[in-house]
Amino acid sequence: PNLFGTTAAVISEASQTPDLKVKSNGSSTSYLNNKENNKKYPWKIVWRNVIAFLYLHFGALYGLYLFFDGAKFLTVLWTILVACSAAVGITAGAHRLWCHRAYKAKWPLRVILMIFQTTAFQNHLYEWVRDHRVHHKFTDTDADPHNAKRGFFFSHMGWLLLRKHPDVISKGASVDMSDLDSDPVVVWQRRLYIILMPLFCFVIPAWIPCYFWNENPMNSWYATIFRYTLSLNITWLVNSAAHIWGTRPYDESISATDNVRVALGAFGEGWHNYHHVFPWDYKAAELGDYSVNFSTAFIDFFAKIGWAYDLKTVPLEMIEKRAKRTGDGTRIEHDDSENHHEG
């Protein structure tokens, strides 16, 4: 049982909604119906976001150029440090802790993760978690905010450039968010987001290099833009690439894939076929291999000092059974049960 009130088996049922899987009249698949629905739904482009993302992407290219032309080495190191903190705020914080409740965290760790998640500027925790829970509950349908059936660009960035499909809002209303309403860290982040977000994502990261090692403000600003834009794109690859390319060892009926390249870039969040089948596993992967899952190492470290606890995993037997029943046959058998450390 997990937050969605479902077991693995029920999740797979949800992802096999008749809309997507059943052929109507024996002629057209509902995938086509899905496309027809998209035609009927008028696109409302949000130009503010189009302009912002254009600025970010051109700014990021300029920032990359400046790394090789004048930016100080310390600024590069600082940029990497901020990027890693922001990434952990998304993976260990927004995703595994708040969205999937795959472990519990004491308040100091929740505050750290909230600040890191604010640094990532991917919307405040409440909104991030709501969209992601809706994505899990209605995967591959119009109610999925970044429905991968609408193609790479839509699931990557396009969904942030359009008003949401009406199904996202109507069906999304069925997702329970009461646990976030009762976490003061989440409530206060949401209230103060308009101040906290610019501060932690832009002002502090750009100011530190200027103040402490006399970096040129232009270099520092565009390094910040580069860091933010790159982190966004790596995160979006989980919604796009890891719903298109890769293997489906645990459930071949859903678009989500296991994709090692995405896992490497996204701090362990590329084992996305596994994750959609067993979303409550704090490793977001079958194995706890740190080399392709830095976020698991981070959570394990805080479990050692007692700030993270009640880490949830999935019994090996359950994984094997499920892979046999619904997987595409690409799951690799592991004798080494050490990696399957139960939380």
Residues engaged in binding ligand ST9 (CB under 6 A): 46, 49, 87, 90-91, 95, 121-123, 127, 130-132, 134, 145, 160, 163-164, 168-169, 172-173, 231-232, 234-235, 238-239, 266-267, 269
Task: Supply angle C-alpha 170, 138, 52, rounded to 5.
Answer: 75
Q: Minimum distance from CB of 163 to ligand ST9 (Å)? A: 4
32, interface contact from ligand ST9, Zn ion, none, CB < 5-8 Å by kind: none
Q: Minimum distance from CB of 76 to ligand ST9 (Å)? A: 16
Single out the residue of 1, 29, 17 nearest to residue 253, CA to CA. Answer: 17
Task: Supply angle C-alpha 278, 294, 115, rounded to 5.
Answer: 95
The residues, ordered by sequence, that sit 6+ positions from 110 with a Cβ below 8 Å of its Cβ are 97, 183, 185
- Closer residue to ligand ST9, CB minimum distance, 146 or 322: 146
Q: Minimum distance from CB of 200 to ligand ST9 (Å)? A: 14
- Closer residue to ligand ST9, CB minimum distance, 32 or 45: 45
The whole-angstrom separation of Cα 176 and Cα 237 is 26
Q: Minimum distance from CB of 275 to Zn ion (Å)? A: 6
The whole-angstrom separation of Cα 101 and Cα 240 is 24
**Phi, psi for 271 (deg, rounded to 5):** -90, 65
Amino acid at 65: Y
Query: x/- string (CB under 5 A) for Zn ion, residues 241-260?
Result: ---------------x----
- Closer residue to Zn ion, CB minimum distance, 61 or 292: 292
The residues, ordered by sequence, that sit 6+ positions from 196 with a Cβ below 8 Å of its Cβ are 115, 118, 189
- Closer residue to ligand ST9, CB minimum distance, 124 or 331: 124
Q: Minimum distance from CB of 333 to ligand ST9 (Å)? A: 27
Other beta carbons within 10 Å of 337: 9
Q: Which residues of the shown chain bind Zn ion in the complex (CB under 5 A)?
A: 256
